[in-house]
Structure 1
Amino acid sequence: MNSTGKHNAPLGADFLRHDSAPAAAGVEGYMEHDAAVYRTLLESTKAIPWKIDWATLAFSYIGPQIEALLGWAPSSWKTVQDWAARMHPEDRDKVVEFCVAQSKAGTDHEADYRALTSRGEYVWLRDVVHVVRDANGEVESLVGFMFDISERKKTEEKLAELQRELEALSFKDGLTGVGNRREFDAVLQREWSAAQRHAAPLSLIMADIDFFKSYNDYYGHVQGDACLKRVAAVLSEAVRPGDFVGRFGGEEFVLILPNTGADAARQVVERCRDRLSAEEIAHERSPFRQTVTASFGVGTLIPAAEADPVAFVNLVDSQLYLAKDNGRDCIAAVNRVG
């Protein structure tokens, strides 16, 4: 029975012959004779066979397996409109346009999409389509198979999620949880390019924990690691949404402030100092109130076309060392805007 309620033509002769060249009489007779065998083979597979008449865009056949998978009776698949209507809205336009274009061109093709079930859920399908031409080379019909690829898609999604998690981990400092040097390089390049395009100011802050070697020597490396984590948390809480905090190496941290002028950058770094002071992390070997402090180097510029981000980092780094030379627990800044 086909989708319109009429009996299908013998499946062996009609469905399986994909070319339009006349078959030898003996072969044709053999296929007609064993049409029931071919139908049984087709309808016993998990793949769902179907055929569409190109002139009418109507289904002349769809396998009964479709009802077991999606819940829609074969008789409900009348035209390609039924096929499109039962496709996920996010997939529909792209898949329909692709399949129509490939079919008009007479090109065999495949398409993955989510199909709606009668229960209101979605199942991932892969349609493998073969274009049948007539003796004049014109498109006569489309024949193909639908495959349930839901489990494959679930596996792919799990792998993709694991890949995203691995990528995220590869951009994070294992100790402090803030960005690592690799992420810093990527973010700086991205924000540098954006600042060049929009002629916008970009600010960079480098921070170094004062007398950290003495801290490690006195408290031990385990406590030193805990100190690094607390400083990283303080800096992360002090910045604004869209700013970047990373560990540059050792006890040195770096902050990237997109679209930020010198005055705003100064406010951010002052907030970092204030919050670190309020944290009151004990440091018996520090001359500054015996608590952990940091020195800061700050730089602001609008990147010119010939400017080099590495040179900018070196410039800010020199400001950091200037702050340390000036007694630590202070800020040194340079502004190349205006």
Structure 2
Amino acid sequence: MDIDPTVYKTLLESTKAIPWKIDWKTLKFAYIGPQIEQLLGWSPESWVSAQDWAERMHPEDRDETFNYCVSQSQAGVDHEADYRALTKDGGYVWIRDVVHVVRKDGEVEALVGFMFDISERKKTEEELITLQKELEELSFKDGLTGIANRRLFDSIIDIEWTNARRNQQPLSVVMLDIDYFKQYNDHYGHLKGDDTLKQVAQTLAAAATRARDFVGRYGGEEFILVLPETNEASALKLAERCRTMVSQLQIPHAGSPQQPILTCSLGVATTVPAPDADIAAFIDSVDKLLYQAKQNGRDRVESAPRSPAAPTPPGPRTR
């Protein structure tokens, strides 16, 4: 049974999808559904040629979308394209164009397709992407202090170690531990202790100012700095700055048997990694230097320029 073409037209124009047809030889619209005016504000009569379609596209999307659609059409390949279409009042709506290439005697005769409003879908996708980025950031951020956590340190040190070995550049690492922090918590309480950890974290972040300098919480009251392309003299200078800045916070520490204010101890080491060098051994050498700073009186910096630290003495390690 034959169906009146007007029935097809009615069916097409009653859907939210916007049908259209372009004559390939002239690149002019043979038809576009009246729904286009409700969606974008432009009347069907204003869609004369493919040039109108291109001009009513976001400038950032125009060249890539236009070139892609033309190349696919020339090849006779059906395709889809997502882009932002300009509304008559100056806004933009996300569109998905689904294009079918009509061929006759092996030659492209026309393009027919449907435009779909995918704004809500795009909004949802963008919200999911934003949420995913936030979750990724949270997974690499220390929940208490807001600076990087141990997980991010593990990733960063691998990258910087590889770069230093490849380029034969010095890499320095500083480990810092707050002196007598258990006694601080015992005296002032854990809430005050948490506030102090935040202050120290912010202070260290302010001390390391270069873009690639890394500051993270290593665990408990221990922090770590990764300093790419930094020689031993510069690393030692920065470590001393960190020690001084923490002391200058003048945070009272009545529980300290040494000083009435909060202080810290630091270990610093620098290396130009050899091809067979072990990154874990290097980090361990920095940790041993921090231990030496504790053993040698605290509130001090111990360093070993490009050389391993002495073996750790037997017995418990008191922070």
In the alignment, the residues of structure 2 paired with residue 193 and residue 148 of structure 1 have an alpha-carbon distance, to the nearest angstrom, of: 47
Task: Give CA deviations for 1:174-212 in whole Å, capped at 9, x if unaligned.
Answer: 111111111112222333334344443322111011112
| Residue in structure 2 matching 1:295, options 256, 265, 280 | 265
Opposite residue 172 of structure 1, the aligned amino acid is K
TM-score by length of 2: 0.89
- Does residue 161 in structure 1 map to residue 130 in structure 2? yes
Distance 1:68 1:197, change over 3 A: farther
State the distance in 2 between where 1:309 and 1:140 align.
65
> 1:100/1:310 Cα in 2 relative to 1: closer, same or farther (>3 Å)?
farther
Aligned counterpart for 1:207 among listed residues 176, 181, 202: 176
RMSD: 1.9
Distance 2:68 2:230 in 1: 45
For residues 201 and 87 of structure 2, the distance between their equivalents in structure 1, rounded to whole angstroms, comes to: 50
Asked if 1:285 corresponds to 2:244, the answer is no
One-letter code of the match for 1:316? V
- 5 Å matches for 1:93-132? 93-132=63-102
Superposed displacement of residue 126, structure 1: 0.5
Distance change (3 Å), C-alpha of 1:52 and 1:305 = farther
Shift of 1:37: 0.9
Q: 3-state DSSP class of the match of 1:114?
A: strand
Structure 1 residues not aligned, in runs of 5+: 1-26
Deviation of 1:262 (Å): 2.0
- 2:16 corresponds to: 46
Deviation at 1:35, TM superposition (A): 0.8
Establish whether residue 152 from structure 1 lines up as the match of residue 136 from structure 2. no
Distance in 2 of aligned mates of 1:159 and 1:130? 31
Q: How does 1:136-151 map to 2 (within 5 A)?
A: 136-151=105-120
User: What is the match of residue 11 of structure 1?
Assistant: none
Paired-residue identity, %: 61
Q: Quick one: structure 1 residues 183 and 115, their matched pair in 2 at CA, closer, same or farther if it must change by over 3 Å?
A: same
Deviates more, 1:189-198 or 1:168-177: 189-198
What is the aligned counterpart of 2:155 among 170, 186, 200? Answer: 186
In structure 2, relative to structure 1, the CA distance for the partners of 1:97 and 1:297 (3 Å cut) is same
Q: Deviations over 1:20-59 (max 9, x none)?
A: xxxxxxx6xx24xx11111111111111111112222221
> Are 1:261 and 2:231 an aligned pair?
yes
Which stretch shifts more, 185-194 or 42-51? 185-194
**SS where residue 280 of structure 2 aligns?**
helix
Whole-angstrom CA distance in 2 between matches of 1:305 and 1:140: 63
Indicate the SS of the match to 2:173: strand
Please tell me whether the aligned partners of residues 232 and 306 of structure 2 are also in contact (alpha carbons under 8 angstroms).
Answer: no
- Structure 1 residues 54 and 335, CA, compared in 2 at 3 Å: closer, same or farther? farther
Query: Letter of the aligned partner of 1:293 in structure 2?
Result: T
Query: Could you tell me which residue of structure 2 aligns to residue 327 of structure 1?
Result: 297
The farther-off stretch of 320-329 and 305-314 is 305-314
State how many pairs are aligned: 306
Q: Deviation digits for residues 236-262 of structure 1, max 9, x if unmatched?
A: 222204222111011110112233222
C-alpha separation between the residues in 2 aligned to 1:49 and 1:286? 78
Q: Deviation per CA, 1:147-178: give whole Å up to 9, x if none.
A: 11111111211121121111111111111111
Change (3 A) 1:311 1:142: farther
Is the partner of 2:126 in helix, strand or coil? helix
Amino acid at match of 2:101: V
Gaps of at least 5 residues in structure 2 are 308-319
Selected match of 1:68 from 27, 38, 59: 38
Q: Indicate which of 226, 235, 243 corresponds to 2:204.
A: 235
* In 1: Cα distance, 2:244 partner to 2:264 partner: 11
Counterpart of 2:147 in structure 1: which amino acid?
V
Structure 1 length normalisation: TM-score? Answer: 0.84
Q: Residues 175 and 48 (structure 1 numbering): CA distance in 2 closer, same or farther, change over 3 Å?
A: same
Report the alpha carbon displacement of residue 101 of structure 1 after superposing the two structures with TM: 2.3
Give 3-state SS (helix, strand or coil) of 2:42's partner.
Answer: coil
